[in-house]
Amino acid sequence: MTSQPTAPHILLVDDDEDFLYQHKIQLEHAGYRVTTAVTRAEAESIAAEVKPDLAILDLMMEQHDDGFVLSHHLKRLLPGLPVILVTAVTAETGISFSPNSGAERAWVGADAMLAKPIRFEQLKREVERLLGDRGQGTRG
Amino acid sequence: METLRVLVVDDETGMRLAVARVLNTYTVRPDESDEHAVRFAVETAETGEAALEMMSASAPDILLLDMKLPGMSGLDVLREIRERRIDTLTVMITAYATLETAIEATKRGAHDFLPKPFTPEDLRVAIRRVVRHLAVQREAKRLAEEKRQVRFQFITVLGHELKAPLAAVEGYLQIMKDGSAGSDPAVVSRIVDRALARTEGMRKLIVDLLNMTRIESGQKRRELVAADLREAAAAAMETVAAAAAARGIEIRLEAPDRAPMIADRGELDIIFNNLASNAVKYNRDGGRVTIAIDRAADAWRLRVSDTGIGLTREDAGRLFQDFVRIKNEQTRTIPGTGLGLSIVKKLAQLYGGDATVESEPGVGSTFTVTLKG
């Protein structure tokens, strides 16, 4: 909505058009700048260009583990970029949504994992926590 | 190699020993292979009471039960087996089999009869029959379990497919309620459009689901009448005409003037509508759809070709399964239930035909449905 140019910039990646639009609206309303992407390739090129302050990624895009790979790439591209992985629950997808071993977790490098369906308040708390001092959107 | 436990209940020592001697050295090979060979371990009991005690501890696979026993009779033992729900297959051994006792024993759950006196070969024949019956029983059980699993899987996926649009609509209502959507008419209009698109998708899913359930349960009342495939194709073309025109897609019909067939008109509509709407949905802008109808031997052949995104061989292989939708960048925003082609295939099979696809990625796909009649 009325975020300032100085507001923290969030890269939001999901192939679900509705999830993307709803969270963009809510994050903008909370005062953040938001750029969206629907594929891993698109997200990587946008990230290189706009250098976001935080990324929110869906785990399952075209491939089941696209979110893991994207997280790994973004961490290499922008070291220190906080990454939140949003996942569909195991019961619905039949695949485990968290990396199993410490080595896997380190490779993925995500700072937080949230299971769908997520409440926006919960997402906002994680965003604020990970952004630290810069955590508040310009509208709070 | 499997060993079945056989319990012989007879008050004559000689009989018990004879049966044990024959069966302990007998092997049944139902399919000539050693892998599925069946051997027997024989246990014996002198009275019905003793047999019941042994069976309550652990039920044998096969029970050879003498009709005439001291104390409890064979029929009494059968009644107890039924009451205690002991899972075993009983062959009655009877010296004077009256029809009346045979009927009574069958009523109480006896599987077969072995008249006394019997030769070792008579015994082996009876046992072979029991083994075959057990194999059939097991296979039926395995199939029932498999069916249960498929059904469970289907319901799990269905639950997810129904929850997804609900979650999307709830999300939109939520951002309108909490005020984050604001009052920009363009935003509000997009929100309402998306919510409507998702409820429409959910409605289509429910319609597909009901159609499929009716086909599969065989409860759908089919009205087989003199129909014409050309007319059905033309009706489907009309249904998708607006969507095709909006994207500059041309639709052609190549069919004889008359293509008569005894069929359920509603079923033909479902087949043509699904194929025509897919051919438009997955086409490129300015592309072409060709619906061709011709006669091949004893069947009509319907071919719907598009100039669209096509399929990989791997995707084509699973396309007709329930809820399979090919997920990639090109299909991301195309709505669909994932049941349409599964329904088309099931309907084609009702007409003794089939549905298949040939496709080349980036060039297009041709769906072929054969209908006998």
Chain-chain contact of B174 with A120 (C-beta, under 8 angstroms): yes
How far is Cα B129 from Cα B149, in angstroms, rounded to an integer? 30
Q: Please tell me whether residues B113 and B229 are part of one structural domain.
A: no
Q: Which of A63-72, B127-136, B204-213, B289-298 has the lowest mean pLDDT?
A: A63-72
**DSSP-derived 3-state class of residue A95:** coil
C-alpha to C-alpha distance for B62 and B277, rounded to whole angstroms: 59
Provide mean pLDDT across the span B180-196.
93
**AA identity, residue B272:** F
CB B274, CB B344: distance < 8 Å:
yes
The amino acid sitting at B264 is D
- Residue whose C-alpha is closest to residue A138's, from A25, A16, A29: A29
Question: Alpha helix locations (H) across A35-139?
Answer: 40-50, 66-77, 90-93, 102-108, 120-131
Give me the CATH number covering residue B16: 3.40.50.2300
Q: Concatenated DSSP letters for B238-306? A: HHHHHHHHHTT-EEEEE--S--EEEEEHHHHHHHHHHHHHHHHHTSPTT-EEEEEEEEETTEEEEEEEE
pLDDT reading at B138 higher than 60: yes
- Structural domain including A100 reads 9-132
Q: Work out the end-to-end distance of chain B between its first and last CA atoms, rounded to an integer number of angstroms.
A: 49
Main-chain dihedrals φ then ψ at residue B39, nearest 5 degrees: -115, 175
Q: What is the pLDDT of residues B298-334, one digit of tens each?
A: 999 999 999 999 999 888 988 998 888 887 777 877 8
Q: ∠ at Cα A96 (B316, A128), nearest 5°?
A: 115
For B30-61, the DSSP string reads: TTS-STT-EEEEEEEESSHHHHHHHHHHS--S
In this complex, which of A1, A15, A120 lies closest to B182 when CB atoms are compared? A1
Shortest Cα distance, chain B CAs vs residue A50, angstroms? 23
Q: Tell me: the pLDDT tens digits for B49-108?
A: 999 999 999 999 999 999 989 999 999 999 999 999 999 999 999 876 677 888 888 888
Alpha-carbon span B203 to B209, nearest angstrom: 10
Closest by CA to B302, choosing from B319, B289, B314, is B289
- Taking alpha carbons only, the member of B286, B276, B296, B264 closest to residue B236 is B276
pLDDT > 90 in chain B, percent: 70
Q: Are B230 and B371 members of one domain?
A: yes
What token pair was written down for B231?
A: 């007319």
- Model confidence pLDDT, tens digit, residues B253-301: 999 999 999 999 999 999 999 999 999 999 999 999 999 999 988 999 9
Among B10, B45, B3, B50, residue whose Cα is nearest residue B24: B3
Contact list, B330 vs chain A (CB under 8 Å)? none
What pLDDT does A115 receive?
82
- Provide the mean pLDDT of chain A: 81
How far apart CA B12 and CA A138 sit, in angstroms, is: 97
The count of structural domains within chain A is 1
Orientation of helix A17-29 relative to helix B120-177, angle to 10°:
30
B325 interfacial to chain A (CB closer than 8 Å): no
Confidence of residue A64 (pLDDT cuts 50, 70, 90): low
pLDDT of residue A140: 43
B362, B230: one domain:
yes
Residues B350 and B229 placed together within one structural domain of the fold: yes
Q: How many whole angstroms separate alpha carbon B177 and alpha carbon B199?
A: 19
Query: Chain A residue closest to B192 (CA)?
Result: A18
What 3-state class would DSSP assign to B94?
Answer: strand
Same domain, B105 and B244: no
What is the bridge-based pairing of β-strands A54-58 and A33-37? unpaired
Which residue pairs, CB below 8 angstroms and at least 24 apart, start in B335-340? Answer: B335/B197, B335/B200, B335/B201, B335/B204, B336/B281, B337/B161, B337/B201, B337/B204, B337/B205, B337/B208, B337/B209, B338/B161, B339/B205, B339/B208, B339/B209, B339/B212, B340/B208, B340/B274, B340/B277, B340/B278
B161 located within any domain? no
> What CATH number has the domain bearing residue B311?
3.30.565.10
Q: Which residues does B132 contact at the CB level (< 8 Å), separation at least 6?
A: B30
Q: Among B67, B95, B118, where does a domain finish? A: B118
Domain that holds residue B35: 2-118
In a domain, A94, yes or no: yes
Give the CATH number, domain containing residue A44.
Answer: 3.40.50.2300
Whether B137 is covered by a domain: the verdict is: no
Q: Which of A15, A18, A117 sits opposite B332 (nearest CB)?
A: A15
One domain for residues B228 and B344: yes
Question: CB-CB: which of A25, A39, A117 is closest to B175?
Answer: A25
Nearest CA in chain B to A62: B328
Q: ipTM score of the complex?
A: 0.80
Inter-chain residue contact A19 with B172, CB threshold 8 Å: no
Q: Report the number of distinct structural domains present in chain B.
A: 2
Whether A139 contacts chain B with CB within 8 A: no
Give pTM, 2 decimals.
0.68
Q: Please indicate, yes or no, if residue B165 is contained in any of the structural domains.
A: no
Domain final residue pick, B74, B92, B118: B118
Residue A26 has pLDDT above 80, yes or no: yes
Last residue of a domain, one of B102, B118, B134: B118
Q: Does B174 touch chain A (CB under 8 A)?
A: yes
Domain annotation covers residue B163: no
